Structure 1
């Protein structure tokens, strides 16, 4: 009984620390940014660039970063990936989107940098984009002839024109720059309070002023709706997940984990890719799972293993692979899996060599 009491207490403690250190300064600004993107950036404008006949540099580039606009988790990515592919999206851009979509999630990147360190956050963002492009290019090259023979695939190029006409580009830039400024300074605990909080206040005023003067009432209403929807969907699951991570952490065999993932360069990264490819990691909980459950924050596993977990985990898992297999077939799924594990291992290995 005392064992479970201690485990539950660790879960409560983990949740309290999370609420205190990450909620107001990190999650709240990130949700407002994600909501603004969802409300003001036309999704169809991005989707129309996924056809296999579109120039590869353009299609793969758009696909690699579109997860910040089109989705927030693998649960959303999978049906969208299936829809894009079946509507005529090339296997290259479609798999680039499938891989990088969940990993490039704005809130997840911010949380990774906040919880696991700015270095790992940047490495995850860059790795997700680059690996997504490489995976898509290779998939497209391997199956190019098959794509060309399938003449029935024609991707719609609808653009709904959701973005307001007549708004200068610098107005949108200033709006999003202000939102990012709030996030950057709110999380900059290393800055003196006399600089940090006045800067946050200035950016908040700038964001509100720009929203009221440059965006329509309908767009602002959509912004609040999208932000609230994201919060309602993710916050309860996120907080419950953090508590569960804290409970499970009490029972983790850290000595065993350290012996296989805490020493070396290539093998810990490879093992991290395999585990990440099999283990289902709920969106936004990846930093806590890697930091607490696998002990990265306590120095149990290497930086390379942590990055490999973060790169392989979001787009893969046993349930995800079943959906992918039903969408593109066993052969393409197998090659996709091999590519993700290979590039995640390579990225983790290189990162471990750089950071030591």
Structure 2
């Protein structure tokens, strides 16, 4: 346990980096009790910590993902049926470092390949909500048990959501152009050349550059919002809206999260600031899940490929799952923190 604590402080929580910025801004004459000091230390520490961890974790998850090309994924998913297929589809989503909007083209590709609609939706739900890189990042803010609980509940929402959509037989509510197979998807898997270790390294490095380029602004915005919450917004005000005493806190957090657009990396700093202000664990997790999975831009994109009945079914299932997770963790949060 002592070794794990030392590893966590050094590499995950990076307490040395926080101590450095506290020393730096005190040396520059800022008062430790001032809101500006609290906000600026939070901002610089979180920005650097997130980008260091993000680069390492994206590289590792992308290297793993290089073994799961779309063709291989389609072939693998096609071998399973029912609950096992939904479970595998949800697990496949965890190794794709995509935001909700980026997952939709993959969803279209899987549908064109003839995979069951429920399996493709299990992937669509889990891909933005649960990410291999998010596990360690969540552990830096909360702890390993919270990170594991988030991943497990996210996968359950994806699996159950996909199964329900299968049971409701909603294939007919997918737009016709999505169902039409393309020559790309019919390529003989035997013609795909295997990647060498050098190819995988190159792919992972490119993914780091591409994803950092895509998310850096959202990370800065998220950390900026977190810094304002951390430094300037009184704890009593936040607790009155999102605290444990407000029975509607989970509903409010979910509804507030839907119009926002960010991936999990942009929402983590906001979650960190909310937790420091006394917001319940379940409320914070519900906010994160809503932002990553039900963002308004992704719903607009999804509307172009599915009909309203399927869209609202998806929205209802995922929203209900997120709200239930929020209230569950608010009730049992003391077991994890």
TM score, norm. by length of structure 2: 0.74
Shift of the 135–245 alpha-carbon distance from structure 1 to 2, 3 Å rule, reads same
After TM superposition, give the deviation of residue 64 of structure 1 in Å. 0.5
* Counterpart position of 1:260: 241
Task: Indicate yes or no: 2:137 matched with 1:111.
Answer: yes
Shift of the 226–267 alpha-carbon distance from structure 1 to 2, 3 Å rule, reads same
* Counterpart position of 1:230: 211
| Alpha-carbon distance in 1 for matches of 2:218, 2:247 | 34
| Alpha-carbon distance in 1 for matches of 2:137, 2:168 | 36
| 1:154-212 deviation line (CA, Å, top 9, x unaligned) | 76465365545xxxxxxxxxxxxxxxxxxxxxxxxxxxxxxxxxxxxxxxxxxxxxxxx
* Counterpart position of 1:137: 163
| Alpha-carbon distance in 1 for matches of 2:296, 2:186 | 33
* Counterpart position of 1:63: 89
* Counterpart position of 2:44: 16
| Alpha-carbon distance in 2 for matches of 1:265, 1:139 | 33
| Alpha-carbon distance in 2 for matches of 1:95, 1:145 | 11
Q: Give structure 1 stretches of 5+ with no counterpart.
A: 1-5, 165-214
In the alignment, is the contact (CA less than 8 A) between 2:258 and 2:290 conserved in 1? yes
After TM superposition, give the deviation of residue 145 of structure 1 in Å. 7.2
After TM superposition, give the deviation of residue 252 of structure 1 in Å. 4.3
| Alpha-carbon distance in 2 for matches of 1:263, 1:319 | 30
Task: Indicate yes or no: 2:71 matched with 1:44.
Answer: yes
Shift of the 282–248 alpha-carbon distance from structure 1 to 2, 3 Å rule, reads farther
In the alignment, is the contact (CA less than 8 A) between 1:304 and 1:349 conserved in 2? yes
Q: Figure out how many residues of one structure are paired with residues of the other and give that number.
A: 295
After TM superposition, give the deviation of residue 253 of structure 1 in Å. 6.3
- From 47, 61, 70, give the equivalent of 1:34: 61
- From 333, 336, 339, give the equivalent of 2:311: 333
Secondary structure of 1:70 counterpart: coil
1:167-206 correspondence runs (5 A): none
After TM superposition, give the deviation of residue 335 of structure 1 in Å. 1.4
* Counterpart position of 2:268: 287
- From 101, 106, 109, give the equivalent of 1:80: 106
* Counterpart position of 2:281: 303
| Alpha-carbon distance in 2 for matches of 1:286, 1:340 | 18
In the alignment, is the contact (CA less than 8 A) between 2:117 and 2:166 conserved in 1? yes
Secondary structure of 2:84 counterpart: helix
| Alpha-carbon distance in 1 for matches of 2:307, 2:170 | 15
| Alpha-carbon distance in 2 for matches of 1:75, 1:314 | 10
| Alpha-carbon distance in 1 for matches of 2:199, 2:172 | 45
| 1:10-41 deviation line (CA, Å, top 9, x unaligned) | 654222221565554x3343122023124343
TM score, norm. by length of structure 1: 0.70
| Alpha-carbon distance in 1 for matches of 2:61, 2:232 | 35
After TM superposition, give the deviation of residue 125 of structure 1 in Å. 0.7
| Alpha-carbon distance in 2 for matches of 1:281, 1:236 | 10
| Alpha-carbon distance in 2 for matches of 1:302, 1:246 | 19
| 1:270-303 deviation line (CA, Å, top 9, x unaligned) | 33333333333344111112222xx21231x111
Shift of the 225–110 alpha-carbon distance from structure 1 to 2, 3 Å rule, reads same
Q: Give structure 2 stretches of 5+ with no counterpart.
A: 1-33
| Alpha-carbon distance in 2 for matches of 1:144, 1:75 | 21
Shift of the 275–161 alpha-carbon distance from structure 1 to 2, 3 Å rule, reads same
Using the TM superposition, name which of 246-255 and 138-147 deviates more: 246-255
Shift of the 123–216 alpha-carbon distance from structure 1 to 2, 3 Å rule, reads closer
Shift of the 275–90 alpha-carbon distance from structure 1 to 2, 3 Å rule, reads farther
| Alpha-carbon distance in 1 for matches of 2:299, 2:290 | 12
Using the TM superposition, name which of 66-75 and 102-111 deviates more: 66-75
Secondary structure of 1:355 counterpart: helix
In the alignment, is the contact (CA less than 8 A) between 1:34 and 1:68 conserved in 2? no
